[in-house]
Amino acid sequence: MERICISDYMSVELMTDLDATSKNEALSEMIALISQSSNIIDTKQFEDAIYKREKLMSTGIGYGIAVPHAKVNGVKDFTIALGRSKAGIEYESIDDKPVNLIFMIGASDTQDKAYIRLLSRLVLRLKDQKLLKRLQKAKDTEEMYSLICSN
């Protein structure tokens, strides 16, 4: 089984410091960001799927992290965007703590097994507290991307 590398699906252009102060603002900002990727071919379908997923259960997984994700036919291939909020955003996380890092994932509806592997790999990487702290303190998106690629 081929190893999934998170950085293969990210780029510095899909990383930003968020202006958002609420969960919905953050999701909107992240959808606009990830939609810059040529892999997102139906932004409206992807957006609808993201909000539908959030209504089911918050993707705030705790430790200051949220991983909103959707798998739809309006996406060609895996794409991951990263948004950072230095102030933190109330996100209805499972630990009731604000979110500082949002990793938004888009995937094709044909990528079932690989999708689960990608989500698992990302969550495993996000258990590294040193990496999380370094991402939060990075001076810019280039440094954030470098941290993702080197870990």
Whole-number Å distance between alpha carbons of 105 and 82:
9
Q: Is 69 a catalytic residue?
A: yes
Q: Which of 69, 93, 108, 115 is catalytic?
A: 69
The two structure tokens encoding residue 147: 């941290």
Alpha carbon distance 85, 21 (integer Å) = 8
Amino acid in the structure at residue 92: E
Q: Are strands 60-62 and 65-66 parallel, antiparallel or unpaired?
A: antiparallel
Catalytic residue numbers read 69
